[in-house]
Each structure stands twice: as structure tokens, then as C-alpha cells.
Amino acid sequence: MSTPRFKLAVFGQPVAHSLSPRIHRLFGEQLGIDVDFSAIEAGVDELPDRLEAFRTGGGTGANLTVPLKSAGLKLCTRVDRAARRAHAVNTLKRETDGWHGFNTDGAGLIRDFDRLGIDPAGRRVLIVGAGGAVAGILGPLLERRPERVHLINRTAERAHRLADKFAHLGCIHGDGFESDPGSQFDLLIQSTSAGHAGMLPAIRRDWLDNDVDAYDLNYGAAHQDFARWCREHRLTCHDGLGMLVGQAALAFEIWTGQTPATDAVVEQLRSG
């Protein structure tokens, strides 16, 4: 019996640094699936042609990363509920009627929360940032029934708009950094890209409860400044590597029908 083979890729700009090829090859080795996974550089304007060339070359599934998640939505014949909510796709699967789009980011975060023993139910959640990554996680997060979610962002209007979009799912508000978010929070999610520039968003310790879990959607070098801030303030802190692997596992299941185990892959990535 021949080994199943899947031709997959991640599209983005930049994309050479992506861990996706390694993650999916590890999933393939784990499950006995032959995975041909490449990284393809593409900007928003180049995506339609490069995705079509990938399809005609036998491509069966793809991930989209920055800055392509919203642009990819327009290239799909069907999208799942998570993608509609976030107005972004990060996973494409080739079907007979074209590309079907999915957003596995939020479910990947919840999968990592479950792995770490973090339950958002009944929690007061402060999310720093209001970009596309937050749009992707809010639906699954609010479905876990936190007491309240507060978005705080450099541009208050963007936080207001995003909070309004998800208000039907639970108690959620948005403000700018100059505002006082009110009661102390016991779950902090850092979503901004400030760490890529060696910077920190303007988080205040007095916004947070004494017993707080902190989670950064970033990992690697981009996580280090936030991790240092958490250590200085004696906060339990986790990076986003587990979320990256969790959302990748969900994409792998969409493409292949098989569910990989994630813990061993996270450990392999941490060990280099």
C-alpha cells in the first residue's frame, strides 16, 4: 500500500522564517504521511497568480500568513464560520469547486489553553491589541464564556469596532491605552507585534490581578521582551508556540483527515 502524499505550502511575505514546513513534516512523520510542504513568498497582489500556479502544479492545501489572510478570503468558494467571523482565512483546501477556506487560529489558541490547563470560563480577560490575530481568536474565546473581555489598543476606534463586531457572543468592550479598563483582569493575552521591534505595549501592572495567567501570541525572539516584563512582575507567562502548533494540527486534519499529537512537536521545536 502506497504512502499518502500531500503537496502543501504556506504563502506569506515574509515567509522564509516560517516554522510551518517543519511542523507539517513532523506531523507527516508521526502519522506515516508523505508531506511535500514549501514556503512561497507572495504579496497581496501576487497571491491569486501564485496560488493558481500552486493548484495547477498539484497543490492540495495551503496556509496563509501575514499579510494574506483577508485577501485569501476573496479567493474561496466557501468559508467556514470562524473565517467569516474573523474576515480572514489561514487555511485553504482544494476542492472540486475551488478553494475552501478555514480559520484555525482561535481553535488553535483554545487547544493550547487546554494543553496548559488555562480555562477562560468565568475569567476577566484583557487583550492587548485589536488586529487580525485578535479577530481570529475572539469567537472561540468568547464561546468559552469568560466573564468579560476587554480589548485595549493604540487606536481606540479599532478596538471599539472589533468589540462591537463580536458583542453578540458575550461581554466585550474596547478602548485605547489612555483609558482605564476597570476591574483587575486574571487572564492577559498580548497580541501586538511590538516584540518584533524590541518594544513593549504600554501595559500597566495595576490592571492585573495578583493571580494572573499571561499569554503572548508571539514566540521566539518576538516574545522575549514581554517574557522579561512578566518575570519582572512575577507573572506566569506562556508564548504562542503551542498555539502555532495547535492551529497547524487543525489545518493538517482538514487536509488529511488525520489528527496529529501536538505535545511532542512543541517540545521538538523548543529543543531546536
Q: What positions carry a catalytic annotation?
A: 69
Helix (H), strand (E) at residue 238: strand 236-238
Coil/strand/helix, residue 234? coil
Coil/strand/helix, residue 64? strand
Phi, psi dihedrals of residue 223, rounded to the nearest 5°: -90, -15
Q: Where are the beta strands (DSSP E) in the chain?
A: 5-12, 34-41, 61-64, 76-79, 91-95, 98-102, 124-128, 148-153, 172-176, 185-190, 208-216, 236-238
Q: Is 87 exposed, middle or buried (0-12, 13-18, 19+ CB in 10 A)?
A: middle
Give the chain's count of helices (H) and strands (E): 10, 12
Instruction: Look up residue 194 and give its DSSP letter.
Output: G
Question: Is-contact 200 125, C-beta < 8 A?
Answer: no
Instruction: Look up residue 235 and give its DSSP letter.
Output: -
Residues whose CB falls within 8 Å of the CB of residue 117, separated by 6 or more in sequence, listed in order: none
Q: Which three cell numbers stand for residue 173?
A: 468592550
With cell 468579560, the residue in question is 148
Bridge partners, residue 188, by sequence: 126, 214
